[in-house]
Structure 1
Amino acid sequence: MKATLKPLAAALLLATAASAAQAETVRFATFNASLNRDASGQLLSDLANPLAGGVSTTVANRIQQAHNVAEIIQRVNADVLLVNEFDFDLNGTPTASSAAMGLGYSSNAAKLFQDNFLSAGHGNAVRGMTSGIDYAYRYTPNTNTGLASGFDLNNNGVVAGGDDAYGFGNFGGQYGFTIYSKYEIVSVRSFQTFLWKDMPGNLLTNDPTGSKLTDFYSQPEIDALRLSSKNHVDVTVRINGQDVHFLTAHPTPPTFDGAEDRNGKRNHDEIRFWADYVAGADYIYDDQGNTGGLEAGAKFVIAGDYNADPFDGDSFKGTVNGEQYNAIGQLLDNPLINTSATPSSDGGTAAADYPSNNGSANQSHVGDPAQDTADFSDAAPGNLRVDYVLPSANLDIEGGGIYWPVDPDTSAANNTGDAFDLVGTFGNPGLYGGLPSSDHKAVWVDVQVVPEPEQYALLLAGLGLIGAAARRRR
């Protein structure tokens, strides 16, 4: 019997198998882009009007800020991107609820940002032009921000306002987040409704400090409090024939509270959630009705604005009753996480001494300013490292960075068209939010996704099939 495998088909099979077995470099990024707005519906209206037609100077500044954010994203050119502080809407209605968004859900704002901003080129003759960037896949999770709890969570005697929401927000959906990906999103798990008290050893009911949260919150409040201030979401992308879990979140800032440190303790446990999740903790349950964390050996990348610096700032750290705590250290010191390379920028180093700063907090910092990712007020807390992209230990890091250019002339206004004009300096009163884009900087890490052994086995099997066919022909 003659073989039916033709030479062309054999070559195609070989090429396909070889391609599947090659390692692929993938850029994962996070950007707290400050695409939140001060009132419900403003983000939708801004993104629907990219040319800023018929609007006030204030609104035009907001729309320009969105263009600057889009240009930064294009210059970073991530393959998988988390955008923090992106107001949530449900099919064009600004809101928030406890309903889990299904696989493939994209808010209207996320679509408008792709169509009207990311797809259009940006730049100028000084810093050069960018090309549009297309993300074929998106996912926008629901959020606890601005979602009324029905409790007086800040103990001010009134049940109203952002402090009494499950996560701080002045309206439903404010400060949400969304995910963009060039690779297929094959599954999602969200943990919006996971209760804080259900984390073993949590700092809510097991508070080791003198000012205990069990004295601050009532028992009904403790029974209702959710761990996630926005959401914790496992967005699984398929790369090179295998799954990589993109673990996204935005823990609450460890400030804006009192001596009880309710936000600092919540921030600590929000960060701890991923440490437990990647270790496969069985206490975890998701909004889809499933339990448990990741399987051993799973590939993942943790990303987001975690509002915690390993050395400086107000995150929960230090020695309490003889035990050491460090909120972000739960990830940075974790053997399951690859921290062999830390993203950095020359701009972060330079910004620590810019003459436009309004305080001296940076001079007392312990951390390396090159690793800072946020340009905060230098009166307090100063610039900090709070945004992270952390691959699993079984993913090799090939590079990374922080989009924070150096100001070429600190004596000149930031309107010369150079790259620094996209980030600016903290507290410019003529700009929306005081900055051209955001007080946070885009952070990325390039990882090598190597095929699993079974993919090499497929390659060898394909080669064997080709060889056998050739022998039969002979």
Structure 2
Amino acid sequence: MKYALTPIALALLATAGAAQAETVRFATFNASLNRDAAGDLLSDLANPGAVGVSTIVANRIQQARNVAEIAQRVQADVLLVNEFDFDLNGTPTASSVPMGLGYSSEGARLFQQNFLSVGQGNGVRGLTSGIDYAYRYTPNTNTGLASGFDLNNNGVIGGGDDAFGFGNYGGQFGFTIYSKYEIVGVRSFQNFLWKDMPGNLLTNDPTANPLTDFYSADEINALRLSSKNHVDVTVRINGQDVHFLTAHPTPPTFDGAEDRNGKRNHDEIRFWADYVNGAGYIYDDQGGNGGLAAGAKFVIAGDYNADPFDGDSYQGAINQLLGDPRVNTSLTPASAGGTAAATYPSNNGTANQSHIGDPQFDTADFSDSAPGNLRVDYVLPSANLEMTDAGIFWPVDPDTSVPNTTGDLFDLVGTFRDPNLYANLASSDHKAVWVDVTVVPEPETYAMLLAGLGLIAAASRRRK
């Protein structure tokens, strides 16, 4: 005699089928969606067809379309976009107020609606389909936020170099997060003071030019660690919480012998190393304390402006993450385009020839004069997440003797210093970097499902 399964039994069986390992792609892209003047990004994103604008503005809008097409080709499930100007409900600005869970800037909404959701491409490299993210989060930023101090010691208070994070206007160079998975929690650390990190390079500087000589006592008491923000965006995947740890530390350049930016970059990177190890000194903008719990799953992402071998970063800066046993480095994202770019005809110098690092791992096409191409963009999962694949969107130029106007795939990235394009590049000097990880249900989830199926079987036997 046959028995029909009850609706509860059917639901449990469906859940059991769904509770399998899930491959999730995390990506970071410093997309250079910053603009020279406040409000320009908003107006660009509101006009995807470039109607009634100058050639300069049309090039900016085309750059945004190229960024969107790259995102569509990468097909990330969770995406961090660095250098995306911040706005508060359509007003370009910045403040020290943390944005609540679910906040999306108007710029982030417009980029989704008018660019990401709309297919891009052409007949040469092929067309792409739109990509839709159900969830977004745009944090506030220290960039362009006036400090009230002469932080660069030039005798004048004001300008981007005297802001809490460099920016010529409030919100410039911010960042935003897109996710296909629900964002269930946010912790931001915009207001964390640099001096409150034990053993920091602000007040414990071992060099011949200590920062305690460069900054006044009042400045030291006001300086924030994060040049933009450090944000833990928690996404729920397959019943589990994965912490997407996003940031964009300052470049370790544009300073003097005191190396204030290099030291800040080092400690901004160190913050996540301490955070994933559960450091108790940490406090967030929401009133919480401490780092991640032991065993928490995470993915560190962003433009960290530090190469493990080359460039100007302070000693061992990025190795604080690459050498941490809690971080999974079993796969290193690579591209054939990075290898090829190291030997392309030089645009203005020979820095790449003296580099130690393998160019296939480079993620940024910088000036060939200095510092040359570098690996500065990272997606680093926790050791308890299995990495299955990784890559960098950097195609090879099929013909370096012709301009990048043929419509092929390489035209989306181009080469450094093309004066005919916005900011001299088709999209950005940085490339999109991605990593695939496997997220499996916790053992307790399997145990619950098995127990439920066992009860169903027992009930069926009793009825029979």
Question: Scaled by the length of structure 1, what TM-score is found?
Answer: 0.96
Aligned ranges 1:138-287 → 2 under 5 Å: 138-287=136-285
Aligned to 2:368: 378
2:40 counterpart residue number: 42
Following superposition, the deviation at residue 8 of structure 1 comes to: 5.5
- Counterpart of 2:436 in structure 1 is 446
Residue 354 of structure 2 is aligned to residue 364 of structure 1: yes
CA distance in 2, matches of 1:125, 1:8: 50
RMSD of Structure 2 on Structure 1 (CA): 1.0
Whether contact under 8 Å (1:306, 1:386) holds in the other structure is yes
Letter in 1 for 2:78: V
Letter in 2 for 1:67: R
Could you say what secondary structure the match of 1:384 adopts?
coil
1:15 maps to which residue?
Answer: 14
Matched, 1:402 2:376: no
State the 1:355 CA deviation: 1.1
Which amino acid in structure 2 is aligned with residue 247 of structure 1? L
Q: Is the 8 A contact 2:388 2:436 kept in 1?
A: yes
**1:126 CA drift (Å):** 1.1
Amino acid at match of 1:327: A
Aligned pair partner of 1:86 in 76, 81, 84: 84
Measure how far apart 1:13 and its partner are: 1.8
State the partner residue of 1:414.
404
Taking the aligned partners of 1:367 and 1:224, their CA distance within structure 2 comes to 37
Partner SS, residue 406 of structure 1: coil
Name 2:66's counterpart in structure 1: 68
Give unpaired runs (5+ residues) of structure 1.
Answer: 318-325
- The corresponding residue for 1:390 is 380
Deviation of 1:468 (Å): 1.3
Rounded Cα–Cα distance in structure 1 between residues aligned with 2:167 and 2:4: 63
Q: Which amino acid aligns with 1:92?
A: G
Task: Note the alpha carbon deviations across 1:413-455, whole angstroms, 9 max, x for none.
Answer: 1011110000000000010000000000000000000111111
* Count of matched residue pairs: 462
Residue 79 of structure 2 aligns to which amino acid in structure 1? L
| Candidates 334, 340, 348, aligned match of 2:324 | 334
1:188-228 Cα deviation digits (max 9, x unpaired): 00000000000000000000100000000000000000000
2:343 is equivalent to residue 345 of structure 1:
no
Q: Does structure 2 retain, via aligned residues, the 8 Å contact 1:18–1:459?
A: no
Q: Per-residue deviation at 1:470? A: 1.3
Percent identity between matched residues is: 82
1:463 maps to which residue? 453
Change over 3 Å in CA distance of 1:356–1:378 after alignment to 2: closer
User: Is the contact made by 2:276 and 2:292 (CA closer than 8 Å) also made in structure 1?
Assistant: yes
* CA distance in 1: counterparts of 2:292 and 2:127, whole angstroms: 41
Structure 1 contact 267–327 (Cα < 8 Å) conserved: yes
Aligned residue for 1:320?
none
Provide, for residues 141-186 of structure 1, a one-character-per-residue CA deviation record: whole Å limited to 9, x for no partner. Answer: 0000000000000000000100000000000000000000000000
**2:384 aligned partner, one-letter code:** N
Contact 2:346-2:368 at 8 Å conserved across structures: no
CA offset digits 1:256-314 (Å, max 9, x no partner)? 00000000000000000000000000000000000000000000000000000000000
**SS of the counterpart of 1:51?**
coil
SS at match of 2:232: strand
Mapped partners of 1:120, 1:265: distance in 2: 42
TM-score (norm 2): 0.99
